[in-house]
Each structure stands twice: as C-alpha cells, then as structure tokens.
Structure 1
C-alpha cells in the first residue's frame, strides 16, 4: 500500500518568538489555538516577575498568530531598560504557550562587542516528509553556539519556509495538493488569496513544528526577510509571476508571511516593499527586500528586469548617508549580489531545463545585472567616502557558506558573508557543484553604470588555520562579531559553524578580525 503524502510531524499549535528589539522596547509574537484571554509573565534579570493581561488578540484570518510591542501595547507594563536581559512566559486560558528571552539594545553607551547570527534555508524534511536528524542537530548546535557567543539577535535571511519542497510534498504537486484543495480547486493558482493564505499558514505550522527551531526563535530576537521559496522557487524571475495567473498566490503567500514573520518586525502593511532597517548601538543594519519588487518586464533584454522595489535603492542611499560615522554597517541581501559571474548565469539560464532556473534568478543574469551594478556602485561610493568604516553584505539562499573580500581599486575592501543552508540538504548534484565553485570562478567583477566601469577583485578569505573551509557546502549557520573597543576602527569577524561530532558546534571557517 503506498504511503500517504503527508509530513511525519504534528503541526505546530502554540509557540512564542521574539522579534525586533530596541533599547526600550521588544516585539513579541505568539500563536495560540484558543482565543484568549492571554497573559504575560515578564521578568527582568535580578528583578521580580510581573504578571500582565494582554489586550491583544489575533487578527481575523491570522491563524491564531498575534504580535505586540512591549511596553506600549500592554497596559501596566514597566519601562524596559537599555542593555538588559529579560525573560518572559505567555499563557492563554490556563495553558502555557511558551517562554523566551531577549536582551534590549544599548543606548548612548555602546558595548565593547556585538555578536549576532545569520541563517537561511530551513527545509528539515527528507523526500518522504520525515524530519532528518542532521537538521535537528544543526539547530541544536546553533542554539548552543549562539548562547555561548552572547548573540543578541539572529538574521533570518529567507526561505524559512519551502512551499515547493520536498517535491512530492509540494503545494504545487497535484497528488499532494488534491486532498488539501479547497472545493473546486484543481491547483494552487486557481485558489483565492484567502485560500492560499490558509494553505501557507498550514505549511508554516508543519515546517516550524520542530522544538529545536522554536527554541531558536524564542531565545534570540529574530529579524526575518522572505525569499523565493516562501512563495515558490525563483519567485519573480519568471515573467509569468507578474501576471494575473499568479496574483492570488502572491497575495496569499505574502499575507501568511506577514502573519508568521513580517509582523515580528512590524512589516504588516498589505503592500509595498518589505525592506527595513534597525540599529544596535552604533552598528546599523539595512535589510533589503529582493522579492516583492522583482519582475522581468522585457524578457531577454539587457536590464529587462528589476530586483529592488523602485524606491528601495534610494532609501538605502539615504540610510548610508545618515550613518557616515557608524563604525560598521551591514546590508542584508538574501540572494548574494556577488556569486556567479555573468557568463555562468547566462549559460545556466540557457541550458537548464526548468524555467525559471538558478541562472535566471541570479543578480548577474542579463535581466538583473544593471540592478546589481547600481547596488555595488552605491556601496563602492560609500566605502570610498568612508574608508574607516566596515561595510559588509550578508546573504543566504545559495546552499553554500562563503566569505569574500570585495577589493575596490580605490577604497578599502568591503566584505560578503553568506550562510546557507541551515537545514536544507540538497539532493541534486549540479546546484551544490556550482555553488561551491562560484567563489573561485568569480575573481574579477566589472561594475558598469557610471562614467567608467569599476573593476573589483573578488577574493575568498583564507580563514584561520584548520578553520578555513571557504566555501563550505554542508549545513551551516553564521556568526558575526563586531569589536567596538575602538569605535573609530571597528573590527569585524566572520564565522561559519556546523554541527560536529556528537552534535556540538564546530567552526568550519573563521576570518579573524577584518
């Protein structure tokens, strides 16, 4: 008898998580199977616990999820102190929803050190829907390593959900979709936006049901951004994705994203770019949205597509200018701007059998290369104008970890750290082969779009002795450390870690201070 097409895991019912944190506020998120009332038990380290009633309730259609900000949304909540650890517990109608913790950001007195995490690509299932043990192991290793390093927050840079993997259990696979389909719907694209939203919400409850993942989200403030698989593979790189046949999928998938992810950082608006920025003491981070504005407008033409929403690059330029005195700035781009050289992306785009394919989704593809060059020219101009500032790109998506130096001809180097995949172990051979070879192939990059081209040398960082596996093709998670003891000359260290023997975290790459 054939096995039923289903995930071998009980769907998530209740959970808590921490989102955006400032020096005086914290955004908390929960999912509850009941409608309340809800209570919050809040404790400052070394202080007494305070029980508070929550006036908030899940929005209609939000699948029991709710996000609120402390202290503003909670009557009677105490003011939060800067640079202070807190713990909390959420409950509903006598049952415990979960517990978590957070550390508020510093205020005018910057810390000597900042550490934060970098992850992407969570797909923990084997082809039959069973949770793989290596996925559980790397999640436990990340929790241990981040706690040991004093990580203050984690950047979730995309693909926290896979709507289309494993292939047999894809929402786009007819045999899997049929028993879950709303009445009269033969495929996902025929559903209404509300129906798509419910199907994606159910998908979140399955992908996020692992206790190890819940622990990471509850114990470290998380800053998410969606990528393609949060909707469908290579979302936006097929001209059809901008058409009416995909409109309900787009609306429903993005609504579910806001329910489960975007609401944690306040990205709950129904339209417009999802990009955002935040500061942690003197360090600034800008999180780019590479999907909601991506489209191919003139297929086959040089510059015939766009990656960034129209006003997003201008917003980044203003943000960079406003932080000229910051010791270190990080720009989060879920898909690495520096990956495949143009000729490779074009070749893959022509010969691959699937459409859209991995070549067509890269920044260096002819559709998007002008957008890549505009972004890199902006970063180059900023680095040249502020040579003492550390400027780092942070990425995921490509199922390989790597650390690169972008050596400008007339400015100090900028850097790019990529961490991927957290739990998704690819089964095909071509993708990992391309990903692992890319940092060694793409050694000289030409950036066009100005009065003259800028030629950038791309060097994989050598790494410390015995910890120099760059690129690294196994499951991994990133750790970024910023030494702020000399604010005028911050030092940034980039690390990639994996689960070692016995599950303990082990460093596979360490850059040393940059």
Structure 2
C-alpha cells in the first residue's frame, strides 16, 4: 500500500441526515491516523464530543452528530469556523456530481488537473452557497484495489477458488487498505475537502465504488469467495466514507432496515430526494432485488418536486440494437458487460418498464426529475407526453476526463432513433441548452436552483462554461 500517500488526517466531512422541525440534522466525520480523539465540535451553543465510529486499515474515524437551526451560521471545530447553509425553505441551491476519478492511475494524476472542476465548484459555492451536494455514483474508482494480492490480482478475469478463512481475511485486510487509500485521496483533494466541510453530502454508489461492472460481471465471479470479500469491503467503506455510518446506523438512514438494499429517501420542505440502490442486489438478470423494489414501491414522495438519483441513466437510447450488433462482432463482445449494466439493456427491459411506471405514479403528484451520472458525458432527456413530462439530467465526469468528441457524436446519432418502452411515453435525448449536439464530451457538474418556487438546472462545462438555465417545474 502507498503509505506515503496517505494523509495524516481528513475532514470534517458533513453528511446530511434530514430535517427536524426547523433544524437540519448533520453528522461530521473526522479521520485520524492514530487513536487520539479530535476536539469537541461547537454548534448552536453546544459542545459535542466525538464518537469513535470505526478503526480500519490504520485510521480511526470519529463522528459528531448535531443539529443546526435555520439561520445558524455553521459550526466550529478545533479552532476553525465552517459556514453552512441552513435555510431550506424558500430559495435553495443544490449541486450534483458524479464520476470522481478514473479507472487507472487516479492516485498518480496531477492534483491541479484532476480537481480543476472541484475548484470551480468551490468558487461557485463561495459565490452563492449550496445547501446540499448530491453525489451520483463512482465517488471513488476502486478498480485497482484488487491488484497486489495473489487471490485477486487477476480480478475480474479470474476469481480464485478458495475456502481458506485465513487467506480470505488477509485479502479483506489488503482490500481495506487499498479502499481507504483511495477514499482518503478523494477526501483530501483540493476543492473537494473545502466543499465537504461546508456542504452536507448525500451519496449513492455505482459500480466503480466496488469494481468496474459490479453486478453485470459473470455470476461465477461475483458470487465467488473473492467476489463476496470484495463486495463486503466495498460496502463497509462506502457506508463509512460516503454516509459517515456503520452497520448499526442502517435502519436510521436507509429504507431497508436489513441493509440488503441501501436505497434512501430524504424529505425537505417542498422537495423529495430519493436514491434507489442499483448495486447491492444487482446481478446479470436484475438491477433491483426484492428489498430494493419494496423500497421503491413504498417511496411515496411528498414534496412539490421529486429528484430521483439513478446512478445509471434512467432514460436512454435503444441499447438493445447496439447489444445485438456488438455480440455479432467477436472483437466487440467484451463490451457486453458495459451495455448490460444499463437500464436500457434487453436483459432488463421488463424491469426498466416497471421502474418507469413507478416514476409515472409519482409524476401524478409532482414534477419528477431523474439525476444521473455514469457515462462521462453531459446530456439530458425527456419522457413524454407533455402532460406527464419527466426530465432526466446527466452530469458525469467531475474529475474523469471526457471521452473523444467523436464518441459523443456517434452516440448522439444513435440516440436519434428514439425509444418508447412504455406506449405513449416516448423518450428523446436532447442537447443541453445552448448546445448543438445531444452529448457533450467535457468534464462537468450540475447545479439545481429553486427560485420563487420554480426549479432550474444549469450545467457547468469545463471548456464551454455555464449553459443557459433549463426550467424543470412544468
């Protein structure tokens, strides 16, 4: 493990727990390399002592649970004051990001280049504060975590047959060090660290938070002892670093108290934000399992606007045609797992239709906007008809470098074929406001703003700058 690259500490990192009366409930996480407790946190005139949350891979995580009333200026920790936006009634700003890393060599990238869009987002917050930071998946890229251990060095091409508990415990410890290294690399990144101390986060995971294509790989791999060990460590560190939580916190934070699905929902004044877990129960034949579907069907959003965080884009082009083409070309068959990972895969069509029907039920009560990442491009889509319009906004690649523009153009031509998985509800991929093409190959993030009760979205593109605002309230 790259011990020299691990910072001595990280945090505070704010996690949004919910609204309680006129106050917001928060958790702040601090990471230390030894077991020495950090100092007390001061908020709303109270001193909050840290709770020792977990010790893992040579670090100790401490948590402060506290509330801030509307209008409170923020909190203090170890001599530093952190301003926090605490007004959730009326006008509101939210940032959405995804794909914070790359599959190969992310730890060795130039920090200024890697975190350029985070620096812009931090400046954006300093100008007009965000109340929430939504993270839509692939917050870390753990694909290289399996390297350097004999049981997992060939993953995912091979999965060693092993039933030795001691050997598997050694693999788990290796993976914990590798995952912690990657999380700390992100948490200490310039821009991100400043934002995370001041803007509470809500996160959902995607495949790279585990490994590339998790759930769409051959089941012999994912169900092997190595695969189960990898998933367990990824889940443990996802809970800790992306939710400031451990196993015992699951019933309070997620919709499924058993933890089989890590789907969640938060109700804010006039807004419901929900995120189905598209990874925990996934296999090659399904995206959601029984616990996930129970969570989705019981969501019952109450806000005047619904944001549905779908780590894999919910509205997209007709991928079944592309799947058939690729399977007919031997050199392209290794991309089949990538296509099977999508809602639009022919393997998931009935399940996709089921999810869209649920979305339309919510749409009878309030406008619904799906927020997605995953594809390393910026785009948007609309499902009609106008009376039941559902928007999808894709912002993907806060630090992942964009694919070639030719790829984006080709995908845009393919998307022109359209799709209608539900009769009378066609899906169309549209250019971003101010753009000519359906997909934009630039790093990007998304801002969502409620002004006078109406929601608008703006994409922030690395080279092209800000788009004109898109109205979401109709």
Bin of the TM-score, shorter chain as denominator length: 0.7 to 0.9
Query: Given the alignment of the two structures, is residue 365 of structure 1 paired with residue 360 of structure 2, yes or no?
Result: no
Larger mean Cα displacement after TM superposition, 411-420 or 346-355: 346-355
| In structure 2, distance between residues paired with 1:436 and 1:81 | 48
**Following the alignment from structure 1 to structure 2, what is the Cα–Cα distance between the partners of residues 127 and 29?**
24
**Which region of structure 1 is more displaced relative to structure 2, 227-236 or 52-61?**
52-61
Q: How far apart are the structure 2 equivalents of 1:238 and 1:203? A: 23
1:57 maps to which residue?
Answer: 52
Give the match for residue 163 of structure 2.
none
Q: Structure 2: which 5+ residue stretches go unaligned? A: 161-167
- In the other structure, the counterpart of 1:315 is 295
In structure 1, how many angstroms separate the alpha carbons of the residues matched to 2:470 and 2:55?
47
- Equivalences for residues 12-411 of structure 1 within 5 A: 13-21=9-17, 22=19, 23-43=23-43, 50=45, 52=47, 54-61=49-56, 63-71=59-67, 80-89=68-77, 91=78, 100-104=82-86, 106=88, 110-111=89-90, 113-123=91-101, 129-131=108-110, 133-164=112-143, 170-172=144-146, 177-178=147-148, 181=149, 191-192=168-169, 193-240=172-219, 241-245=221-225, 246-263=227-244, 267=250, 271-296=259-284, 305-320=285-300, 322-323=301-302, 326-341=303-318, 342-348=320-326, 351=329, 352-354=332-334, 357-383=337-363, 385-386=364-365, 389-408=366-385, 411=387
Q: In the alignment, does 2:446 pair up with 1:478?
A: yes
Q: CA–CA distance in 2 between the matches of 1:279 and 1:290?
A: 21
Give the aligned CA root-mean-square deviation in angstroms: 3.2
Change (3 A) 1:185 1:292: closer
1:513, 1:376 → 2: CA distance? Answer: 18
Residue 100 to residue 492, structure 1, CA distance change in 2 (3 Å): same
Q: Which digits, 9 at most, give the CA deviation of each residue in 1:287-333, with x for residues without a partner?
A: 1111111102xxxxxxxx1111323233233323x52xx32111110
**Equivalent residues of 2:101, 2:400 under 8 A apart:** yes
SS of alignment partner, residue 58 of structure 1: strand
Aligned-partner SS, 2:337: coil
Report how far residue 373 of structure 1 moved.
Answer: 1.2
Structure 1 CA distance, aligned partners of 2:110 and 2:129? 29
CA deviation profile, 1:470-504 (whole Å, cap 9, x unmatched): 53211101101123x3xxxx422111103459xxx
Secondary structure (helix, strand or coil) at the match of 1:446 reads coil
| Correspondence for 1:460 | 430
For residues 457 and 128 of structure 1, what CA distance do their matches in structure 2 show?
38
**Which secondary structure state, in structure 2, belongs to the residue aligned with residue 367 of structure 1?**
helix
Cα distance between partner residues in 2 of 1:337 and 1:24: 30
1:75-102 residue CA offsets vs partner (Å, 9 max, x unmatched): xxxxx3135331332x4xxxx7x76442
Describe the SS at the equivalent of 1:404: strand
Secondary structure of 2:280 counterpart: coil
Q: Deviations over 1:13-51 (max 9, x none)?
A: 33211001433421111111232333234255xxxxx57
In structure 2, relative to structure 1, the CA distance for the partners of 1:262 and 1:24 (3 Å cut) is closer
Work out the number of aligned pairs and report it.
442
**Contact preservation (8 Å) 1:117, 1:478:** yes
Kindly indicate whether the alpha-carbon contact (under 8 Å) linking 1:445 and 1:456 is maintained by their aligned counterparts in 2.
yes
The structure-2 alpha-carbon separation of the partners of 1:414 and 1:437, relative to structure 1 and needing over 3 Å to count, comes to farther
Give the TM-score normalised by structure 2.
Answer: 0.83
Instruction: Give the secondary-structure state (helix, strand or coil) at the position aligned to 1:425.
Output: coil
State the alpha-carbon separation in 1 of the partners of residues 82 and 105 from structure 2: 29
Structure-1 separation of matches of 2:42 and 2:437: 42
Higher mean C-alpha displacement, 51-60 vs 235-244: 51-60
TM-score, normalised to structure 1, is 0.77
In 2, distance between residues paired with 1:199 and 1:211? Answer: 21
Q: Which residue is equivalent to 2:164?
A: none
Counterpart for residue 441 of structure 1: 414
Cα drift, residue 151 of structure 1: 1.4
Q: Report the more deviating stretch, 281-290 or 31-40.
A: 31-40
The 1:225/1:128 distance shift into structure 2, 3 A limit, reads: closer
Distance 1:230 1:416, change over 3 A: same
Distance 1:55 1:327 in 2: 37
Supply the distance in 2 between the matched residues of 1:469 and 1:149 (Cα, whole angstroms).
30
